[in-house]
Amino acid sequence: MSQKPASISVVIPVFNERKTIREIVKRVKATPREKEIIIVDDFSTDGTRQILREYENDSQVRVLLQPKNSGKGSALQVGFQAATKDVVIVQDADLEYDPNDYEALLSPIDNGRADVVFGSRFLYMEHRVLYFRHMIGNKVITFLSNLLTDLTLTDMETCYKAFKREIIQNIRLRSSRFGFEPEVTAKVARLGCCVYEVPIRYYGRSYAEGKKITWRDGVAALGHIFRYSFLDRSFVKDKHAIRNVMVAPPPDPDVGVDTLEAFEDARRYNGWICERADDAIRGRVLEVGSGIGNIIGEVLSREHVTSVVATDLRATSLATLKDRFGHDGRLSCEVWNAEDPPPAALLNEKFDTVICSNVLEHICDHERALKHMKQILKPGGRLVLLVPANPAIYSGMDEDLGHFRRYTREELSRVLDVAGYEIHRLFPHNLVGAIGWWWAGKVRGRRTLRANDTKTFDKLVPLLKHIDPYIAKPFGGVSLIAIASPVLAEGVTRESCASGVKVAAPVSEAKLAATEQFDA
């Protein structure tokens, strides 16, 4: 958009408005913008069409006549496609909305902040007092729309909506009646448009004065909300035309760091992960991909842990970790990317436990990384591995987090076997989290995990940790947890590793693991 004020196409759908049509055209003409007025008559039968003939030679007004009565939504679709100015504004013909509010509607677009602007009747401006039940119905419908679109509108059903022309002309609309409001709201939300809301005046009219929307349209709106939030996937005509005019998004955040920070206060959840592998976390412990230390904090709280080495490929993350936990003398840090061979500092004194939580999915050659982890484990040591599960819920959130994959139980077993591990336990973790991930990523199309989400979930952990082993076992979870050890050399047992004595009889740990593999 240029810096000059946007020109406007005002689309006025009309049906039987002979008492008000002249006045609304007069008021729209009086607004101080370069404009065109597009009146779409939806087969009026009260004399409105005869009045519209008065504008045949008016350079500012175009009149389009529908061949039959098709509904407000159909009339708007015709008007939108006829628009030629920068911004398209919807204007009812019944004098409930005041064109003097155009400047408020257009300000966020003029200033380069918005793609779409809604005018709210509930944001502290004067309005006529009418119909309490209508107000309640409006708020319920707006709430349900917000729930599915993740917007925070106060008035989704408002007439006053302003769109950049390229956006509204390239949205395929299907609602013929008042379903236009929830439909267009759902679709601009799915496009990722920058939506603003501004207060407007409202002078509602009674049914005696010609109000047309009824409770049946309110009930229908509920169906439209669900339909257009989940279905109708091919609604974009020209995505490049839309993208070219949309407000430039802010620079991409470091989603990985943001996610780590979102889990920083999820102490219950981090503790729960460690509890599920508590018998394997002891002695000298190393964590692969420690980030800012969300798991390290829980590991340091365990009495059987004698020392901890935090590793990460980002020195900045380790610096944050040191600030948080550097007071504990058992902690040291080492920059290490698990795709690279372990540095000498890690090979010189091997570890009783290696923890790798939500890291392996970020690594392209995960088998190679697991072999490097095996090199720093003592014979008989334990790998505690947590990875995202269930490829069916892979979504944009996984993509933005840099996940190459989500694992099936069979795939994780195969990778561990190829890397030279014997599995002691392998079990699903956190079914409720899987449902939440599916809802946010697959249904809602979100691409980031928010701090409020993790805080809310963290409050459920005391309950979930008691029931999850039972409900996740048959249905799966958001993660898989594996406890595994390096395959022992022929003729070596766990006990001999601990004592340093070799024995002649080999023990098949694979057979032992088979009895425990899928226990929760």
Render 350-385 in DSSP notation, one character per residue. Answer: -EEEEEEES-GGG-SSHHHHHHHHHHTEEEEEEEEE
Residue 261 confidence (pLDDT):
60
pLDDT tens digit string along 178-237? Answer: 789 999 999 999 898 999 999 999 987 555 555 555 556 556 667 777 777 767 778 999
| Residue 178 confidence (pLDDT) | 74
**pLDDT at residue 489 is higher than 80:** no
Look at residue 214 in the predicted model and tell me its pLDDT.
Answer: 58
| 507 pLDDT above the threshold of 70 | no
pLDDT band per the 50, 70, 90 thresholds, residue 1? very low
- Residues ≥6 apart with Cβ < 8 Å to 431: 468, 471, 472, 475, 476, 477, 478
Place of tokens 């039940």: 133
* pLDDT tens per residue across span 425-476: 999 999 999 999 999 888 878 877 777 778 888 889 999 999 999 999 999 9
- Residue 288: phi and psi, rounded to 5, are -90, 125
Of 49-63, 111-125, 136-150, minimum mean pLDDT range: 136-150
CATH number of 8-240: 3.90.550.10
What is the distance, to the nearest Å, from the Cα of residue 328 to the centroid of all Cα atoms in its chain? 37
Structural domain boundaries in the chain: 8-240, 255-516
pTM exceeds cut of 0.75: no
Question: Under CATH, what is the fold of the domain 255-516?
Answer: Rossmann fold (3.40.50)
Q: Name the pLDDT band for 253 (thresholds 50, 70, 90).
A: low
Residue 520: band (very low, low, confident or very high) from pLDDT cuts 50, 70, 90: very low
Which residue would you say has higher pLDDT here, 346 or 496? 346
Q: What is the average per-residue pLDDT within 351-365?
A: 95
Q: What is the pLDDT of residue 251?
A: 52
Looking at residues 375-391, what average pLDDT do you find?
A: 96
Res 461: pLDDT? 92
Phi-psi region of 184 (alpha: psi -120 to 50; beta: other; left: phi over 0): alpha
Q: Which has more pLDDT, 89 or 121?
A: 89
Strand order in the sheet with 377-388: 331-335, 305-312, 283-288, 351-357, 377-388, 479-486, 421-429
Residue 234 has a pLDDT of 84
pLDDT(110) > 80: yes
Closest CA to 389 of 423, 371, 413, 422: 413
Using the predicted structure, report yes or no on whether residue 318 has a pLDDT greater than 80.
Answer: yes
CB atoms within 10 A of CB 509: 21
